[in-house]
Amino acid sequence: MRHLINPLDFTKEETDKVIKLAEDISQNIEKYSHTCAGKILATLFYEPSTRTRLSFESAMMRLGGQVLGFSSAQSSSASKGESVADTARMISCYADIVAMRHYKEGAPAVAAKFASVPIVNAGDGGHQHPTQTLTDLLTIQKGRGSIDGITIGLCGDLRFGRTVHSLIQSLVRYQNVRFIFISPKELTLPDYIIEEVVKPSGFPYREVSSMEDVIGELDVLYMTRVQKERFFNEEDYVRLKDSYILDHKKMALGKDSLMVMHPLPRVNEIAVEVDKDPRAVYFKQAQNGVYVRMALILSLLGIENEILEDSLC
């Protein structure tokens, strides 16, 4: 049984195949509209979500399948004390594939041990978010034609931002990536990401606190929200929340080919005035989330081979 809990659960070749399939889906969506007829996706969301849950649901519906689930822990038996393990056993009787978001790091991995259907981690605490990474990779691939050779600046809450952790884990499998980590010192990357992922890659990296000093070097600027819900006290959040605000003035320092990405939701970190700049691709990125989740569902359900072969003939 295949699951996607961590981006590394798929090899680089498998990841590239999902991205390629997602590219085809984005151009020929009609072709896929009955591929999951009779299949059910369950979305088990113990934490708030707009894009991830709805894009998963939209993806399954666009594949001709159906969807059930819950959007908060309060409306599930978790509020009565049911364990993730028991919920995973139950849901395996009701659905063919599951997307789970949980506030506890490791919860989807526990579910995967007890489920008899594929489990997809839709975000676990401050840990990982592998389907956002697929979305991000597809966005870079479509925008630049290649992921190799990019200089990427990751900016904001690098400590608690799970999208950043997963993206870095995936990017080190490409060629000649340069990393610039932009954050206040309280929100730098966790040590395990630097020691176990970034350093072993041998790719150049810098940790800086000023966005203005480095924006001119970047091909991709990946902005993130300061993760209010992971802070232990309100005071620290209030002090750090507006550490970076990307506006016209800072955009003027960026290359013409810069891609500004953000997993969304944004709070203050990108001024609304930037939305009209053609280099701002975060809404396209959200759209890509549907295509990539369609490709992932097909792939985990084992439907992808037939379709991909057909689409390549």
Active-site residue list: 51-52, 80, 101, 129
Of the pair 35, 55, the CB lying nearest ligand NCD is at 55
Cα dihedral sign, 111-114-115-118 = positive
- Residue 74 CB, shortest distance to ligand NCD, in Å, is 18
Of the pair 132, 243, the CB lying nearest ligand NCD is at 132
Instruction: Select from 165, 225, 241, 293 the one that contacts ligand NCD (CB under 6 A).
Output: 225
- Residue 162 CB, shortest distance to ligand NCD, in Å, is 5
Residue 132 as a binder of ligand NCD (CB under 6 A): the answer is yes
- Residue 190 CB, shortest distance to ligand NCD, in Å, is 15
Assign residue 123 a region (left: φ > 0; alpha: ψ between -120 and 50; beta: otherwise).
Answer: left
Instruction: Select from 69, 123, 130, 254 the one that contacts ligand NCD (CB under 6 A).
Output: 123
- Residue 138 CB, shortest distance to ligand NCD, in Å, is 14
Residue 162 as a binder of ligand NCD (CB under 6 A): the answer is yes
What spatial distance separates the first Cα and last Cα of the chain, rounded to whole Å? 29
Binding mask 31-60 for ligand NCD (x = CB under 6 A): --------------------xx--------
Q: Specify which residues 280 forms β-bridges with.
A: 260
Of the pair 39, 127, the CB lying nearest ligand NCD is at 127
- Residue 51 CB, shortest distance to ligand NCD, in Å, is 4
- Residue 288 CB, shortest distance to ligand NCD, in Å, is 11
Residue 163 as a binder of ligand NCD (CB under 6 A): the answer is yes
Q: How many residues bind ligand NCD (CB under 6 A)?
A: 10
Q: Strands across the sheet with 119-124, in order? A: 66-70, 40-45, 97-102, 119-124
Of the pair 57, 304, the CB lying nearest ligand NCD is at 57
Instruction: Select from 263, 280, 299, 300 the one that contacts ligand NCD (CB under 6 A).
Output: 263
Of the pair 87, 163, the CB lying nearest ligand NCD is at 163
List strand residue ranges (DSSP E) for 149-247, in order. 151-155, 178-182, 205-208, 220-223
Residue 125 as a binder of ligand NCD (CB under 6 A): the answer is no
Q: Residues 44, 53: contact at Cβ < 8 Å?
A: no
- CA distance linking residue 214 with residue 206, whole number of Å: 10
Q: Which residues are within 8 A (CB) of 266 and not within 5 positions of it... i.e. 6 or more apart? A: 223, 225, 282
Residue 3, token pair as written in the block: 């699951």
Instruction: Select from 218, 264, 292, 297 the one that contacts ligand NCD (CB under 6 A).
Output: 264
Which of 137, 148, 146, 151 lies closest to 215 in space, CA to CA?
A: 151
- CA distance linking residue 8 with residue 15, whole number of Å: 9
Residue 129 as a binder of ligand NCD (CB under 6 A): the answer is yes
Residue 127 as a binder of ligand NCD (CB under 6 A): the answer is no
Q: Residues 143, 105: contact at Cβ < 8 Å?
A: no
Alpha helices in the chain (DSSP H): 12-27, 51-62, 84-94, 107-114, 130-144, 162-171, 191-193, 199-201, 234-240, 248-251, 282-300, 304-312
| Residue 90 identity (one-letter amino acid) | M
Which positions lie near ligand NCD, rule CB under 6 A?
51-52, 123, 129, 132, 162-163, 225, 263-264
